[in-house]
Amino acid sequence: MTHLDRPHGADDAAVEWRAVSPANDDLPHGGTAPDAGAPGVRSPRAPTTAPIPATGAWRVGDAVGARRFADVGTFDLEGGGRLPGVRMAYETWGTLDPDGSNAVLVLHALTGDAHVSGPAGAGHPTAGWWQEMVGPGAPIDTDRWFVVAPNVLGGCQGTTGPASEAPDGAPWGSRFPRVTARDQVAVEIELTRALGITSWALVVGASMGGHRVLEWALLGPEAGVGVRSIAAIATNAQATGDQIAWAHPQLGAIHADSRFRGGDYYDADDGDGPHAGLGIARQIAHTTYRSARELDRRFGRIPQGGEDPFTDGRYAVQSYLDHHADKLCRRFDANSYVVLTLSMLTHDLGRDRGGVAAALAAITARTLVVAVDTDRLFLPADCARIADGVPGAALRTLRSDYGHDGFLVEDDQLGPIISDFLGERSSVPD
């Protein structure tokens, strides 16, 4: 979620409001530009008006940027079917120690990607989504740790997904199979082997990334890859009915868009892709990422500058959601949004493991769980369930007005928690 453009037409009230808005508002949910995109805020730059491409996916021939690639083979999927020729896109920071003991795996959320840290530029439309957390001298200090961040299977930033070429040379599109968090981790395990890493000092992720963190704690050791510690942030062990309910209209909006074309829209002209459906899905989701307290405090009933809600104008909060819809459509892919959302809905750590309690009890890695007190998507109780179930787990809570996105905004709180956890000696052997 990164603000690069600001709607213009500010009034004095909106400019005054800007002073109390958060520093990081649009992080790929998961770059970072200070409060750009704030509704009603004056800007020397005009809003983006260029037609939106049919997909915001990275595709072969686009600028590579900091991406690296690994071909990891063919996979039999949990739900049936086989996915051939899987390619993983990933980024790294730091240097792997000769004994391989300093490797950290960072797993991104739904609309994030492997660009955890680094500037925007060719190949990367946004700056890194966890800039304050990963880098030299940061809580995950790349002068000490070798950090790897893969783009998730089914995503749209270089790893095999719906926008990728199938064996016949055409985009997978509607033919792309359903994948689960376990499938995604199976692919990440093969990437780990390809990198010559035998053990992770830490596997960390939030939201959808936290689903994979928990799966890694079980699947990694089963596959012979050590997982010494995990940090599961603003996540849960099993998708809830409430989360499934919130996802349902998002998926419905995309499928109902006539320009979705059943998932086969990659040859459509700019401006003729499923942007209406994807944009509405983003607006619904983004509302769950923030708290009611923050939206009311930041926006309340302030009109968007120069617009009259009593005629055909918008309130500032509506402009804010429109902005987020536009931004996502320019950097993401509607099919990937569907595939990854479905992978979140099928998330159940206890499936075929005797239930959630039994699965959590089987985790042997040192475990840190972090909740956000105002999170209305992944409730603090969801995080507490993980901490209560994993032997010896520690639970920490971020105090934030910003809801679920507190894990992206509250680096002043989260940073010390992660650095302290990393600084503790692991008692779990490789």
Has 207 been annotated as catalytic? yes
- Contact between 145 and 94 under an 8 Å Cβ cutoff? The reply is yes
Kindly state the DSSP code that residue 89 receives in the 8-state scheme.
E
Considering the candidates 115, 286, 347, 404, report the single residue annotated as catalytic. 404
Q: Give dist(CA 163, CA 157) in Å, integer.
A: 9
Q: How would you list the strands of the sheet with 146-150, edge to edge? A: 68-76, 82-93, 146-150, 103-107, 202-206, 229-233, 366-372, 394-398
Considering the candidates 164, 207, 229, 336, report the single residue annotated as catalytic. 207
Strands 68-76 and 82-93: antiparallel
Considering the candidates 113, 375, 401, 411, report the single residue annotated as catalytic. 375
Q: Annotated binding site, which residues? A: 282, 405
Q: Which pair of structure tokens corresponds to residue 88?
A: 């993983």
Sign of CA dihedral 377, 302, 410, 280: positive
3-state SS string for 168-235 = CCCECHHHCCCCCHHHHHHHHHHHHHHCCCCEECEEEEECHHHHHHHHHHHHHHHCCCEECEEEEECC
**Cβ-Cβ contacts under 8 Å for 80 (sequence gap 6 or more):** none
State residue 103 phi and psi, 5-degree precision: -85, 135
Q: Give dist(CA 153, CA 229) in Å, integer.
A: 23
Has 199 been annotated as catalytic? no
Residue with tokens 């213009």: 8
Q: What stretch of H or E contains 369?
A: strand 366-372
Q: Annotated binding site for substrate, which residues? A: 282, 405
Has 382 been annotated as catalytic? no
- Contact between 177 and 116 under an 8 Å Cβ cutoff? The reply is no
Q: Would you name the residues annotated as active-site residues?
A: 207, 375, 404
